[in-house]
Structure 1
Amino acid sequence: MSTYRNPVYPEVFADPFVLRHEGVYYAYGTAPGGADGRQIPVLRSTDLVDWQALGHALAPAAGMGAAQGYHFWAPEVASHDGRFYMYYSSGNAPEGTDQKLRVAVAEHPAGPFVDAGKILVPGQPFSIDAHPFRDDEGQWWLFYCVDFLEPAHDERIGTGIVVDRLLDMTTLAGQPRVVVRPHQDWHVFRKDRPMYGSVYDWHTVEGAALLYHDGHYWCFYSGGAWEKENYGVSYVVAKHAEGPYRRPEGGHEALLMRTPASGELLGPGHNSFTVSPDGSETWIVYHAWDPARTARRMCIDRVDWVDGKPVTRGPTWTEQPAPKI
Structure 2
Amino acid sequence: MKPALSALFSLTAQAMAANPVFPGADPHASLIDGTLWIHPTRSKGGDNFMAFSSKDLVHWQNHGPILDFKDIPWVSADGRAEHGAWAPCLIPKDGKYYFYFSVGPQDATHPSRIGVAVGDSPAGPFKDSGKMLLTGGSGFEAIDPMVFIDPADKRPLLYAGGSAGAKLRVFELKPDMISILREIKVETPPQFTEGVFIHHHGSLYHLTYSHGNFRDATYSVHYATSTSATGPWSYRGVLLKSDGHHQGPGHHSVVEDSKLGTLIVYHRWEQEGPGPYQGSRQIAIDRISYDADGFLKPVTQTNEGVIR
- Structure 2-normalised TM-score? 0.82
CA distance in 1, matches of 2:168, 2:227: 17
Deviation at 1:213, TM superposition (A): 1.7
| Matching residue of 1:166 | 173
Alignment of 1:241 with 2:229, yes or no, is: yes
Deviation at 1:174, TM superposition (A): 2.7
- Structure 1-normalised TM-score? 0.78
Classify 1:92/1:127 alpha carbon distance in 2 versus 1 (closer, same or farther; 3 Å): closer
Listed as ranges, the matches of 1:1-325 within 5 Å are 3-9=16-22, 11=23, 13-31=24-42, 32=44, 39-60=48-69, 61-62=72-73, 64=75, 68-91=81-104, 98-122=111-135, 124=137, 126-137=141-152, 138-145=154-161, 158-168=165-175, 169-181=177-189, 183=190, 187=191, 205-248=193-236, 251=237, 255-260=238-243, 262=244, 264-276=245-257, 278-291=258-271, 293=277, 294-308=279-293, 309-317=295-303, 319-323=304-308
Q: How many residues align?
A: 279
CA distance in 2, matches of 1:321, 1:87: 27
Contact 1:33 1:41 in 2 (8 A): no
2:209 match: secondary structure: strand
Residues 152-176 of structure 1: CA deviation (Å, up to 9, x unaligned):
xxxxxx3122222112211122323
CA distance in 2, matches of 1:96, 1:269: 29
Deviation at 1:19, TM superposition (A): 1.8
Deviation at 1:287, TM superposition (A): 0.2
Structure with the larger strand share: 1
Residues 131-154 of structure 1: CA deviation (Å, up to 9, x unaligned):
001121322111111578xxxxxx
- Of 292-301 and 265-274, deviating more is 292-301
Deviation at 1:218, TM superposition (A): 0.8
Classify 1:54/1:64 alpha carbon distance in 2 versus 1 (closer, same or farther; 3 Å): same
Residues 187-235 of structure 1: CA deviation (Å, up to 9, x unaligned):
5xxxxxxxxxxxxxxxx52111112122110100010111110110111
Unpaired segments of 5 or more residues in structure 2? 1-14
Classify 1:112/1:147 alpha carbon distance in 2 versus 1 (closer, same or farther; 3 Å): same
Deviation at 1:281, TM superposition (A): 0.3
Unpaired segments of 5 or more residues in structure 1? 149-157, 188-203
Classify 1:23/1:206 alpha carbon distance in 2 versus 1 (closer, same or farther; 3 Å): same
Q: Which amino acid aligns with 2:217?
A: E
Classify 1:217/1:96 alpha carbon distance in 2 versus 1 (closer, same or farther; 3 Å): farther
Residues 246-283 of structure 1: CA deviation (Å, up to 9, x unaligned):
223xx3xxx210001x1x1110000011133x445010
CA distance in 2, matches of 1:238, 1:217: 5
CA distance in 2, matches of 1:231, 1:245: 21
CA distance in 1, matches of 2:144, 2:266: 14
Contact 1:59 1:114 in 2 (8 A): no
What percent of counterpart residues are identical?
29
CA distance in 2, matches of 1:86, 1:96: 26
CA distance in 1, matches of 2:136, 2:51: 30
